[in-house]
Structure 1
Amino acid sequence: MGVRRAAKGVGDFLIDTVGEAVAEVVLTLLACVLLGCLVLIAYLSWSASPRLTVAGAGLLSCLFAHGAWQTFRRSGKGRRRGLAALTATGFTGAAATALFLLLYAPGCDCM
């Protein structure tokens, strides 16, 4: 009975270890693809029109700043409407993407 339990424990350990390694490789690959897409978008945008690229980056920065302000301020109401909800959602998505890239993009050896 003890040998079966030990063999099952070793098998479970190996399955968990291999699963974690595969998940790490998949997340690193996803981060590399996302980083490559962001660089490609920036390159194509800059080659099309540098002025519009800078203007778009400035507008996007303003929207993210508004979203951060809406996310972290203390409001009397619990609900946001319209532009406030949109910018808060955009800021949260950008922050989550930045955190994901911060954690997994250094493993990408494409740089």
Structure 2
Amino acid sequence: MKKISASTPILKKLGMNTEDYYYDGSFLYQQRDGETLCKVPLENIIRVKVSHTVVSSRRVWLVRYVTTPYKTERELRLLNNYSIFNKDFAGFLAAVQAANPLADVQEMNFFRL
């Protein structure tokens, strides 16, 4: 599993941004303290887009997915951890596009980090 979210100590002290996000070839995982809270198949993700919210010089990304039993839509918010040395978030965007070619996935650029 590759980590795609950034940790912000200030928000963690305030009780916010306590989840970490990981992905592999098939799933997106939401974890808190090493326990998996949510496991989303990449083919169920229908949209990944950047929001206008900025925290610690990073933009918040919105990941919208469809739950399997009732086809309801849900959304996760995460701070990406993309850097010169860590390109895992870009790999996540490519993996979502490959798993679901119909998904609306925004491309990363300098202004969307």
Check whether TM > 0.5: no
As a proportion of its length, which structure holds more helix?
1
Normalising by structure 1, report the TM-score.
0.23
Using CA pairs below 8 Å that are at least 6 residues apart, which structure has the higher relative contact order?
1
As a proportion of its length, which structure holds more strand?
2
Normalising by structure 2, report the TM-score.
0.23
Which of the two has higher C-alpha Rg?
1
